[in-house]
């Protein structure tokens, strides 16, 4: 049968639209995947637009746009994926208007309220390289050289903490039986990993018992004759320890939080007594936790004292140095971490004071073999005896973030990091001095490192502050004022300081104190920026005093 | 007192070196942090070099360099951080020679052995933007618009899975009390998070009991009157479930692995019986797990049947669709996931079949409130009633990976992803057909999706394979041969296929079968690349036959 032209055309008519659409989609998709050498590729066009975004973003001084959250969220209310690919120029325009324009300028010299700051410029091209290479360190077959590069970078920081012999590092740095450190997504996973290792190592296989890993917590405690299991540390432990206690099945009630002194350091006497009590009650102490840089005020526990207690009790000693760990780079400030070298495990975040992008948590292990307590295998991957980094880790597939870490350690060096740490603390001292000299503010504590707590005092209460005559009600007025001030400052968007709530004891009662919280870790922050932030707060406070009645 | 010139010079001599070094370091560091408008900045110089790396890397066809691991690791044996910043040009040269040159070409069209492939080009500039913006979605104060953007992207995939009403999404998409999905670092954390939610939701606070979160697993099981807790799923469950069972304190023995059929799907009858047995024994079933795309062969469980069992037993139903989830984009293949919409939680990895960079795991939740079972707060962050995404998550600080996800869903669209899924499966069929027609290979299973298991058969054993007359010893010879072949192929570095070990039952005995494992997910892989991979294996096998005695 021969079809007439008309028939052919009809037939085409029935098939063409789908086929044409299919071909069109195919072409669009393949264009997105090609790394072609066309005159100007899609990638280059996208890059040009994005470079514009980045430049604007990185050079803006204000901390964020003034748009209110409730208005902003209306731009993100579409739950349907577009059927066909959206034109990239249109998409990027929307992205610029809706996302980039209303993101937080974490690199702004006047955004000094959280643990994010400007990053060294090399991280931006490195991010592109990491994404181009798209290595997956879970196994050596998807991350060949990078697996060794990661091990080397982790060994460097291990050595900075523990300073074992040349021989030790020669033996362990590239030995697939050893784990000097584990690169994870963040401090939370690092802390959980450390406690997981500690728990499993102390409840391992013995005689007929197969170990907690296989038989579970209840059977393990039963076999070893414990009445329960606890984790002990300062009341200022990061909330990741709540997650760990919950996740690991001991419950948050078994996370024992010890009171701190007025420098936000765990009370050593109380800690010692608690350890004694737990041992007397036949409780397994999974770990004693020291905090090196509390999240809310930067306080560093007396690690040497804690180490001594842990050693005497033969208990795992973990240090959460997610924030404060890099003090170790500073000759001047390193002494604050004295005792960290006695820790069994140490958490440090690369995305905090190592000035690397988000997503670099690390846990360092004194005993290179302790991580075998959490080792897992799988036939399709993770082979015993391999260099697969995923076999002793909480996470599986992950990005090659070691590229940033390795580059940071080399391109900044010991001296570069020392400079950054010293500068942050020096400028914090400047801010503390300024605040002390301004009647508008009250400094809430002499800063230990580079976190600073203070508050604004409404004019009519200043004299009472000086005379130390604040009533509980006055304090509540100040709290409300500062909460409002912080929110309005954030909303106004020129500068940024965060807030937290501390408590002080007055006449035996716990009084909550709302504190403004500065984090001075941005190398771009100059003294004049600090002045500007404080001035901004004073101006906002003046407006509040007119607008609202805080008396 | 006036100092003589000589004295001045002496004094300078004592102070100058340190001060000069300090100033020098300061200058170097500040240069790295500046986003200056100098004629050509350090960032631009670094970018030029790195662009060269990327281009070479992305256009190389071979899968990796021939350098052996034992040789390579010698390049990474320095455990000392350089004292002073290393010159960036020198560093990048070393990085190029030592890391980039010996990384795995995961994007190569002939690297078809793991779940990594070429990525769309927009991810590279987007990586730079993400790093420039350096948002931290743990809290709204460090990720303003991006928090909403992330919620929108997760809602889009939630809708694709569950397809609830417009009204449902309008109510939950930007409601801070609701959690439609959680963005995590990878499938492992996604699976752990799902099981954590399931465990805590079924052992929550009641009457005087404060819930497992606070009181722990043993007290919770005791209060609710359970004899123990288990997780049930296919024997082919990913090893992240081992981690979950270990970490959560139930122990790996309480992870019950049910046998699978010859299509790698869980045996429904055995599953039903096991559930019955566990209930009879008064064990809490934390979750029944369905696998949508096993890691070693891509098999998809019969989710509808599992859903029915879970529903009848009133048990949480989790689907690990880390790999196979995106089949839902394909009209042609979606039916394989039928029943996924009945799951209480679903894991999907963005860095697998959504073609996004490493580090994008997701868990989707049917009940927008179930994640409150794991909610935590902290005074310095994570406030109740806020949009802080970190309050219902295992992780804390994390990168703004939602940028990639949101861009992928928009720039590829439903049709774009459908094309990618369909193409992968079509090309896998091509490879299966090729293998079936080649005497050198044996196809080990008809591929369900885009993973393919096969093996090379040494010439002298081919007839026995055809006649189904292989002895156990013959099988062992074939296993050894294939293991050697895969290693040599990897080492040679032109093409890549991974391997796994399956077991088959012969005369009631479990026989291990070493399988070559192809993963066809790279849009750049053409039929000719598949031909080249198979040809490469035949050539390597020929060499092996000469070199080694496998008889």
pLDDT digits (tens, 9 = 90+) for B295-354: 989 999 999 999 999 999 999 999 999 999 999 999 999 999 999 999 999 999 999 999
Residue linked to tokens 């846990």: A363
Evaluate if residue B21 carries a pLDDT over 90: no
Name every chain B residue with its beta carbon within 8 A of the beta carbon of A99: 145-146, 149, 403, 406
Name every chain B residue with its beta carbon within 8 A of the beta carbon of A96: none
Question: Among residues B136, B87, B142, which one has the least CA distance to residue A357?
Answer: B136
Question: Among residues A391, A330, A395, which one has the least CA distance to residue A359?
Answer: A395
* Chain B residue closest in CA terms to A153: B79
Q: Radius of gyration of chain B from Cα atoms?
A: 28
Beta-carbon separation of B400 and A142 below 8 A: no
Q: How far apart are CA B424 and CA B447, in angstroms?
A: 11
Evaluate if residue B37 carries a pLDDT over 70: no
Q: Cα angle vertex A445, ends A440, A446, to 5°?
A: 105
- The string over A236-268, giving b where at least 16 C-beta atoms fall within 10 Å of a residue's C-beta and e elsewhere, is bbbbbbbbbbbbbbbbbebbbbbebeeebbbbb
Q: SS3 for B345-406, per residue?
A: EEEEECCCCCCCCCCCEEEEECCCCHHHHHCCCECCECCCCCCCHHHHCCCCCCCCCHHHHH
Burial of A208 (0-12, 13-18, 19+ CB in 10 A): exposed
DSSP state for residue A227 in the 8-state scheme: S
Phi, psi of A313 (to 5 degrees): -90, 0
Q: How far apart are CA B432 and CA A2, in angstroms?
A: 37
Residue linked to tokens 């350098």: B67
H runs (alpha helix) in B380-499: 402-436, 462-466, 472-492
Is residue B320 within 8 A of residue B347, CB to CB? The reply is yes
Q: Which residue among A59, A250, A398 sits closest to B216, beta carbon to beta carbon?
A: A250
Name every chain A residue with its beta carbon within 8 A of the beta carbon of B33: 118-121, 523-524
Q: Which two tokens stand for residue A51?
A: 């470079």
Name every chain A residue with its beta carbon within 8 A of the beta carbon of B504: none
Beta-carbon separation of B107 and A134 below 8 A: yes
pLDDT at residue A384, as a whole number: 67
DSSP state for residue A95 in the 8-state scheme: I
SS3 content of chain B, % helix, strand, coil (to 5): 50, 15, 35
Q: How far apart are CA A233 and CA A287, in angstroms?
A: 8
Residue B78: CB atoms within 10 Å: 14
Beta-carbon separation of A146 and B103 below 8 A: yes
Evaluate if residue B372 carries a pLDDT over 50: yes
Q: Which two tokens stand for residue A164?
A: 């074992």
DSSP state for residue A354 in the 8-state scheme: T
Sign of CA dihedral B259, B264, B265, B269: negative
Q: Cα angle vertex B529, ends B525, B534, to 5°?
A: 130
pLDDT at residue A383, as a whole number: 64
Sign of CA dihedral B439, B442, B445, B450: negative
Q: Mention every residue, 6+ apart, whose C-beta is less than 8 A from residue B531.
A: B434
pLDDT at residue A395, as a whole number: 97
* Chain A residue closest in CA terms to B87: A411
> What's the average pLDDT block by block, 10 residues per block, for chain A (551 residues)?
44 53 88 72 92 90 90 95 96 96 95 93 96 95 96 98 98 97 98 98 97 98 98 97 98 97 94 98 98 94 98 98 98 97 98 97 98 86 77 96 98 97 97 97 93 96 93 95 95 94 81 95 96 97 85 66
Residue linked to tokens 């003090």: A327
pLDDT at residue B93, as a whole number: 96
Evaluate if residue B541 carries a pLDDT over 80: yes
Is residue A303 within 8 A of residue A290, CB to CB? The reply is yes
pLDDT at residue A8, as a whole number: 42
pLDDT at residue B40, as a whole number: 67
Kindly state the average pLDDT of the residues B56-63: 89
Beta-carbon separation of A239 and B127 below 8 A: no
Is residue A225 within 8 A of residue A282, CB to CB? The reply is yes
Which ipTM value was assigned to this complex? 0.94
Question: Among residues A200, A105, A173, which one has the least CA distance to residue A387?
Answer: A173
Q: How far apart are CA A399 and CA A390, in angstroms?
A: 12
Please name every residue paired with A513 in a beta bridge, in sequence order, or none if there are none. Answer: A502
Residue linked to tokens 């690369």: A350
Q: How far apart are CA A450 and CA A441, in angstroms?
A: 18
Beta-carbon separation of A253 and B217 below 8 A: no
* Chain B residue closest in CA terms to A322: B397
Q: Which two tokens stand for residue A154?
A: 């982790």
What length does chain B have? 551
pLDDT at residue B385, as a whole number: 77
CA distance to A389, A441, B133, B464, B487, per residue, from A541 (Å): 53, 11, 30, 88, 69
pLDDT at residue A1, as a whole number: 41
Is residue B324 within 8 A of residue B337, CB to CB? The reply is yes
Q: How far apart are CA A103 and CA B400, in angstroms?
A: 11
Is residue A421 within 8 A of residue A330, CB to CB? The reply is yes
pLDDT at residue B376, as a whole number: 93
Beta-carbon separation of A106 and B416 below 8 A: no
Beta-carbon separation of B133 and A50 below 8 A: no
Question: Among residues B450, B454, B480, which one has the least CA distance to residue B465?
Answer: B454
Is residue A215 within 8 A of residue B253, CB to CB? The reply is yes
Q: Chain A: give the shortest CA distance to residue B542, in Å.
A: 24
Q: How far apart are CA B2 and CA B11, in angstroms?
A: 13
pLDDT at residue B320, as a whole number: 98
Residue linked to tokens 């300073």: A163
String of DSSP letters for A371-439: GGGG---BTTB--TTS--GGGGSS--S---THHHHHHHHHHHHHHHHHHHHHHHHHHHHHHHHHHHT-T
Measured torsion, CA atoms of residues B491, B492, B498, B501, in degrees rounded to the nearest 10: -60
Q: How far apart are CA A459 and CA A477, in angstroms?
A: 12
Share of chain B above pLDDT 90, in %: 84
State the DSSP H helix or E strand holding residue A348, giving kind and residue range, or none if neither: strand A345-349
Beta-carbon separation of B78 and A398 below 8 A: no
Q: How far apart are CA B351 and CA B358, in angstroms?
A: 5
CA distance to A348, A369, B299, B541, per residue, from B548 (Å): 49, 37, 35, 10
Q: How far apart are CA A287 and CA A296, in angstroms?
A: 22
Q: How far apart are CA A179 and CA A172, in angstroms?
A: 8
Q: Please count the CA atoms within 13 angstroms of the CA of A168 that sit on its side-chain side.
A: 15
pTM: 0.95
Phi, psi of A458 (to 5 degrees): -55, 145
The band of B531, judged by pLDDT with boundaries at 50, 70 and 90, is very high
């Amino acid at each position: 049968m021969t079809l007439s032209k008309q028939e052919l055309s009809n037939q085409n008519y029935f098939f063409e639209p789908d086929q044409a659409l299919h071909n069109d989609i195919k072409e669009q998709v393949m264009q997105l995947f090609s790394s072609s050498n066309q005159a100007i590729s899609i990638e280059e066009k996208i890059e040009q637009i994005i470079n514009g975004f980045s430049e604007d973003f990185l050079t803006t001084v204000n901390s964020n746009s003034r748009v209110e959250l409730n208005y902003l969220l209306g731009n993100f209310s579409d739950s349907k994926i577009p059927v066909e690919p959206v034109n990239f120029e249109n998409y990027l325009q929307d992205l610029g208007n809706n996302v980039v324009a209303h993101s937080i300028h974490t690199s702004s010299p006047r955004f000094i309220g959280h643990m994010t700051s400007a990053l060294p410029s090399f991280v931006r091209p490195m991010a592109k390289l990491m994404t181009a290479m798209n290595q997956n360190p879970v196994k050596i077959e998807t991350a060949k050289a990078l697996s060794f590069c990661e091990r080397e970078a982790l060994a460097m920081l291990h050595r900075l903490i523990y300073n074992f012999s040349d021989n030790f590092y020669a033996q362990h740095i590239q030995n697939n039986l050893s784990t000097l450190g584990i690169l994870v997504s963040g401090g939370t996973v690092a802390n959980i990993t450390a406690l997981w290792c500690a728990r499993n190592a102390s409840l391992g296989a013995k005689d007929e018992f197969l170990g907690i890993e296989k038989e579970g917590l209840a059977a393990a405690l039963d076999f070893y004759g414990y009445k329960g299991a606890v984790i002990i540390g300062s009341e200022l432990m990061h909330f990741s320890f709540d997650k760990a206690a919950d996740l690991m099945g001991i419950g948050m009630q078994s996370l024992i939080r010890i009171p701190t002194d007025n420098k936000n350091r765990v009370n050593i006497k109380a800690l010692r007594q608690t350890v004694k009590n737990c041992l007397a009650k036949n409780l397994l102490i999974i770990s004693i936790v020291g905090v090196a840089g509390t999240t809310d005020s930067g306080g560093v526990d007396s690690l040497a004292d804690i180490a001594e207690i842990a050693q005497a009790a033969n208990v795992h000693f973990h240090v959460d140095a997610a924030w404060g760990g890099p003090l170790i780079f500073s000759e001047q400030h390193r002494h604050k971490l004295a005792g960290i070298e006695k820790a069994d495990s140490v958490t440090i975040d690369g995305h905090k004071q190592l000035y690397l992008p988000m997503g670099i948590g690390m846990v360092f292990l004194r005993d290179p073999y302790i991580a075998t307590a959490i080792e897992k295998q799988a036939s399709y991957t993770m082979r015993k005896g391999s260099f697969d980094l995923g076999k002793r880790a909480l996470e599986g597939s992950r990005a090659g973030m070691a590229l940033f870490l390795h580059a940071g350690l080399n391109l900044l060096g010991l001296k570069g990091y020392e400079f950054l740490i010293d500068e942050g603390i020096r400028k914090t001292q400047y801010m503390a001095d300024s605040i002390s000299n301004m009647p508008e503010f009250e400094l809430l504590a002499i800063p230990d490192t580079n976190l600073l707590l203070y508050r604004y005092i409404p004019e009519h209460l200043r004299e009472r502050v000086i005379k130390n005559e604040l009533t509980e009600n006055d304090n509540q007025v100040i709290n409300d004022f500062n909460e409002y001030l912080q929110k309005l400052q954030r909303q106004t968007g020129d500068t940024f300081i965060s807030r937290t709530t501390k408590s002080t004891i007055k006449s035996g009662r716990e009084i909550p104190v709302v504190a403004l919280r500065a984090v001075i870790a941005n190398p771009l922050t100059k003294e004049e920026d600090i002045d500007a932030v404080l001035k901004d707060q004073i101006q906002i406070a003046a407006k509040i005093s007119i607008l609202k009645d805080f008396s």
